[in-house]
Each structure stands twice: as structure tokens, then as C-alpha cells.
Amino acid sequence: MENFQTPLLFITLLFYILAFVVYFINFTYTKGTLKIHARFLIISAFILNTILLVIRGLLIGGLPLRNLFEFGLFFVWAIILIFLLVESKYELSSSALFVLPIVILLLLFLVNLDVSIRPAMPALRSKWLIVHVLTAVISYGAFAMSFALSIMYLIKDWLQEHKPENKFIEVFPTLEKMDDLSYKVIFIGMPALTIMLVTGAVWAEYSWGRYWSWDPKETWALITWFIYSAYLHVRLRGWKGKKAALLSIVGFLAVIFTFLGVSYLLPGIHSYA
């Protein structure tokens, strides 16, 4: 099964790309007639993504959350899961045009990583791994959805002001709906991010004898938490619209830097992750 991982990863990537293409054609040229086909493709890709996670889990004998490749697979899975839940409840299929590029770029990064199975480092052989990393995946998936909604908000706001005849003005939901949903998914993601930080500190004390060491990944995870905490705080003080959307985008850029940038630019005790 180990040799089956890479082909399945490429097939999953292909299905996500096809889903994006069909969604784009659906909204640009066919006035919604291809929506069911696009949804079929993205659900198929999600199922393939799930199968790949199951295979990886069977190979390592546990949840695949031990390294950058496995976390990335779960990250993609969480983004699409949250998209499907939001899309089914709020009729927000147009957000696929912005969610899928994130997923495709992440998978293009993952196909270049080593997928071989190696023994877990001693620090990763802990009961805290599942809660700590899984809550990170959930929060990052929610923040990715908020990022997509914020980009959509800024684009529609600009189009309404400068190109009111553009067809995408009608394709996108109302500004109020996108702003409200962006807030809701961040509100869901923040408790998970908080649990991730707390369990990480407990795990660090158990593994290394200290709750906090100012490791780069710890530090940037905390920065990310402060950004989204600031977002929720200013929402209560009346920040909506462009300001909130920009802060949401900044928060997700911090997520991506915590996930990828720190791993390559600021190595530390979390370098294996």
C-alpha cells in the first residue's frame, strides 16, 4: 500500500483541479447548469482524500498527524469538509472558486514531499498528539474558509464600486452574508486553536520539561491566536466589512507561515512537523 500513496495523491489533485475548472465554467459560461457535476467532482476528490488518509493511517498504525505531509493531507481534508458543510447549509458554492485554489496549491506542495513511512520521533509518541494536531487542523481549515470568504468580499466590494456590470457581482453572495459567515467560521476555529495551544503547552511540559520555550512554531502559533483574538474583539466593537476582511486575510497568512514558513525558514524543536 505504501507505493499506492503517490498515484492516489496525484489522482486526488487531478480531481480537485477538475472540480475547480468545472466550477469556474459553471459560474462563468453556463449560468449554473454544471453545478451538480462540479459538486460530484469535489465530493469525489474529498473521498479520495479520505481514502488516502485511511491508507496512511493503516501504514503507520494511527492517525496520520506526525509530519508535514500527513498534517498537510489533513489540512486539505478539513478545508473541504468545512466548505461542504458551509456550502450545503448556506448555498455558497461560488466560494469553491477561492477555496479550491488553496487546496490545489497545498497539494502541489505535498506531491514534492517524501511519503515514505519512518518511525515516529520519541516526542510524537504521546497521547497528546491527536488532540493537539487535530485541533490545529480543524482551526486551520476554518480559517482557510474565512480567508476565501474575505477575498470574495473584497472582490465583490471592488466590483460594485468600479465595475457594476460585472457578472460575478450576481454570482457572489451579498456582502453582508459573506461578512457574517467569515465571522462565524472564525468563531468556530478559535476554540480549536485555543485547545491546540493549551494541549501543546501541556505536551511540551510532558516531553521537554517546560510549558513554553519560544520555539518559532510555538511563537507563530501564538501570533496567529492573537490576530484572530483581535479579530473577534474588534467585531464586538463594530468592525465589519473591509477592515474585518483584511484582518481575516492577515490571520490566514500567519496560519500559512506557521504551517510552512516556520518549517523551512525558522527551524526549531518543531522542525519535524
- Establish how many alpha carbons lie within 13 A of residue 262's alpha carbon, considering only the half-sphere containing its beta carbon: 25
Q: Which range among 153-157, 209-213, 224-228 shows the weakest confidence by mean pLDDT?
A: 209-213
Q: Are 126 and 158 in contact (CB under 8 A)?
A: no
Structural contact between residues 63 and 57, judged by C-beta atoms closer than 8 angstroms:
yes
What is the sign, positive or negative, of the torsion defined by CA atoms of 138, 188, 132, 234? positive
d(Cα 23, Cα 95) in Å, to the nearest integer?
10
Q: Name the pLDDT band for 272 (thresholds 50, 70, 90).
A: very low
Q: Count CB atoms within 10 A of the CB of residue 23.
A: 24
Question: Which grid cell sits at 65?
Answer: 498527524
Q: What is the pLDDT of residue 1?
A: 67
- The CA distance from 56 to 46, in Å, is 15
Indicate the pLDDT class of residue 273, thresholds 50, 70 and 90. very low
Instruction: Give the C-alpha separation, 99 to 45, whole Å.
Output: 14
Mean pLDDT of 4-10: 89
Give residue-wise pLDDT tens across range 218-251.
888 999 999 999 999 998 888 888 999 999 999 9
- Cα(113)–Cα(35) distance, integer angstroms: 33
Q: What are the pLDDT digits (tens) for 70-121?
A: 999 999 999 999 999 999 888 888 999 999 999 999 999 999 888 887 766 6
- pTM for the structure as a whole: 0.90
Q: Where are the alpha helices (DSSP H) in the chain?
A: 5-28, 35-60, 68-90, 96-110, 128-162, 168-171, 175-208, 216-236, 242-256, 262-265
Give every CB contact of residue 237 below 8 A, 6+ residues apart in sequence.
none
